Structure 1
């Protein structure tokens, strides 16, 4: 029975000690069936302080040995976990829905392979721009369950069968656009992504990450790789041109032009290589993306 499936919580952490402690507290206090659950922390920094925090909770602590990035950390969590249902949450986020594991057991069933949640700003209780799986500011859809075309990495649930079938997260991405790449791959294999507003997660968007200029390098480079791998050429050309311009203006405001330029150069150099081995989205997947606000032209 689904109720007896082991439920794995996976947290990839990097130098956010206070946030991690609060995240773990929210998980422990909101589980409906802790006896059928496990909590795993992947420590990408490998510090004693992180280990000490984990010892205060019923947690399996894993020292990654090096910074594996978001994708590598998640993949290590998948490898070390035993659950059939996998719940990922950032270490600067908190579960806000009581018995969220019970809801995930009820909602995450084939053909749905990924469950996306309502992610809100921790301070304001309002949506963070870009942290809902809807295009633009379509916040009217925030309280409606629906099929979507991608998911947000702050928190989501994954059916292990999906990961077994399509593989883990793309480790060459390190971080930035890894959810977009995984979403394309999920849909290509005829799985679906489902959004439920019944599960709320509060995200603090730690300044450790938001002020990191290297995100321009990683995100732009990775968008070029994802676009080259999956988008039909006309969409690929327009999509990458628009994202390059948007991120250029953002980088100027953040004084990160050098990082943007490095990401553009790296992305362009990877484009032709990735295009030779591309698996463009088929007509069925393209129709799904058009019907569910997919990332095609932008």
Structure 2
């Protein structure tokens, strides 16, 4: 069995130098070599001493835009079969992660994405880090409809077929867009809890643009990827859930502004998923209205 070659993409804004150094050290300790590309979102990367390919960007392209720069370099090289992407404040606590990723992709040529289990420094995995609705058991392995952006692996043939991240999203729901395109293309998404990325426990709402971009991108996602009858169902359900969850008037105002922005601005090319994909996602436990 021929094992795929590995590439790694890490995007940083230069705000977590200690964590980034630790992550790069954990990548270097892996028992399988990898081509590592470090992308600096509006940061020169001059303080990074690790022996990796560095791409400093003059402007912040957002997480998906920055990752696309690294992905394109590795995919175009023709030397990499699988790309692993890691958050710059994550940490690989085992040294055989890359080897196990190789084995999983080699065993199933239709495997498109592997989602890692994210756990804090105490080994605890929060419910929101488990990519399924029934999240009681974070150790339950299997095929899913989503993955976490913090730690995952992509098949390069899949990326060549379905395309890269939706850079225009900038922040929020870019994983859903890519996951839905992957499933619609006939690829599989595997959640593998034995592959662990240690990550500090943080709230996504810590970002100032969280509520605005979350709302805008959710509307864009529906307009781009859902069959027409499901668009109002999806958006109506999330309006109700948001009203039930948001506790701050300022946060609600930002969310409503983002929702309206998503309705009135271009969402990019529309390519709704097949009804077969809707049914497949439903059988996997997460229909694309949730």
TM-score (structure 2 length as normaliser): 0.89
Match of 2:37 among 27, 37, 40: 40
State the secondary structure of the residue aligned to 2:127: coil
Give ranges in structure 2 of 5+ residues lacking alignment. Answer: none
Match of 1:291 in 2: 283
| Between structures 1 and 2, the one with greater helix share | 1
Aligned to 2:73: 80
Question: Is 1:164 paired with 2:163?
Answer: no
Shift of 1:259: 2.0
1:101 corresponding residue in structure 2: 98
Cα distance in 2 between the residues matched to 1:22 and 1:267: 38
In 2, Cα distance between the equivalents of 1:100 and 1:118?
12
Aligned to 2:11: 12
Distance 1:76 1:106, change over 3 A: same
Q: Are 2:212 and 1:213 equivalent residues in the alignment?
A: no
Structure-2 change in CA distance of 1:280 and 1:41 (3 Å): same
Q: Tell me the SS of whatever aligns to 1:247.
A: helix
Give per-residue Cα distances to partners, 1:107-152, cap 9 Å, x unaligned: 1232111011111123x421123211111x5232x32331111111
**Contact 1:216/1:247 (8 A) holds in 2:** no
Q: CA RMSD in A?
A: 2.2
Q: Is the 8 A contact 2:6 2:98 kept in 1?
A: yes
* Correspondent of 2:172 among 176, 196, 210: 176
Structure 1-normalised TM-score? 0.87
- Are 1:233 and 2:228 matched, yes or no? yes
Deviation at 1:255, TM superposition (A): 4.1
How many Å apart are 1:39 and its aligned residue?
A: 1.4
What SS does the aligned partner of 2:124 have? coil
Q: Structure 2 vs 1, CA of residues 221 and 170 (structure 1 numbering), >3 Å: closer, same or farther?
A: same
User: Does residue 1:115 correspond to 2:114, yes or no?
Assistant: yes
CA contact under 8 A between 1:225 and 1:274: conserved in structure 2?
Answer: yes
In 2, Cα distance between equivalents of 1:249 and 1:77:
39
Q: 1:20 to 1:187 in 2, by over 3 A?
A: same
Structure 1 counterpart of 2:239 = 244
Q: Secondary structure at 2:46's aligned position in 1?
A: helix
> Aligned to 2:140, which of 137, 140, 144?
144
Whole-Å separation in 2 of the counterparts to 1:88 and 1:64: 18
Offset of 1:188 from its aligned partner? Answer: 1.1
Number of residue pairs aligned between Structure 1 and Structure 2: 283
Q: Deviations over 1:74-97 (max 9, x none)?
A: 110112224211000111111123
Q: Aligned in 2, Cα 1:133/1:63: closer, same or farther, shift over 3 Å?
A: same
2:22 matched to 1:26?
Answer: no
For the pair 1:91 / 2:83, whether they are aligned, the reply is no
| Structure 1 unaligned residues grouped into runs of 5+ | none
Distance 2:196 2:252 in 1: 35
Q: Please give the residue correspondences for 1:29-68 in structure 2 after superposition, counting only pairs within 5 Å.
A: 29=29, 31-34=30-33, 37-47=34-44, 50-52=45-47, 54-55=48-49, 57-68=50-61
